[in-house]
Amino acid sequence: MNALRENLQKALGLPPDAVNWLCQLYEVIQVLDDFADGDEVTRTDLDATIWNTLVGLPSNAFFMQHANSLLPALSLMVLKWQASDKVERDGKATAKSYMWRAGYYDLVLLSVTLCHGPAVAHAVAHLVMNLYGEAYEDYMKEFQNA
């Protein structure tokens, strides 16, 4: 999480409210993914997820200012994750389903656009998309061993 926060702050120059919103969202996604996969979720992580989902994310100043842009992107991120989850559970994980899991980084790129404009977003788009840390090979191994 510290590396993500540092990249959002320093490499992408996002303001604190945007960084906080994106980091809270990332933490929520991780806990929900763990829960969906049947992995252990600590009570501390669950409590933070409940708070962030119901209070923290919607009350964040960056989100409130840009909700009209962020909500459709959030919707797409959820639908893409659900699509990847379905094909993964059906034993049909592919390079396409791997890409669908990276919807969070679409939100990061949208946030850069909202904060800095399209010219800056264009200049750093490759950096944003390279933040996705899961290698395709590791993704496929996860389902070959299942």
pLDDT tens, position by position, 115-139:
999 999 999 999 999 998 888 888 8
Q: What is the mean pLDDT of the chain?
A: 94
Q: Percent of the chain, pLDDT > 70?
A: 98
Residue reference for tokens 């191994």: 141
> Which of the four pLDDT bands, split at 50, 70 and 90, describes residue 37?
confident
Q: Is 73 exposed, middle or buried (0-12, 13-18, 19+ CB in 10 A)?
A: middle
Residue for token digits 């989850």? 85
* Residues 109, 107: Cα–Cα separation, whole Å: 5
DSSP 133: -
**Residue 131 per-residue DSSP state:** T
Q: For residues 67 and 75, is the Cβ–Cβ distance under 8 A?
A: no
Number of domains observed in the structure of the chain: 1
User: How sure is the predictor about 140, in pLDDT bands with cuts at 50, 70 and 90?
Assistant: confident
Q: Where are the alpha helices (DSSP H) in the chain?
A: 2-6, 16-36, 43-51, 57-59, 61-89, 95-100, 103-116, 118-129, 136-144
The percentage of the chain sitting over the pLDDT mark of 90, rounded to a whole number, equals 82
Q: Which of 7-21, 54-68, 122-136 has the lowest mean pLDDT?
A: 122-136
Domain span holding position 95:
2-144
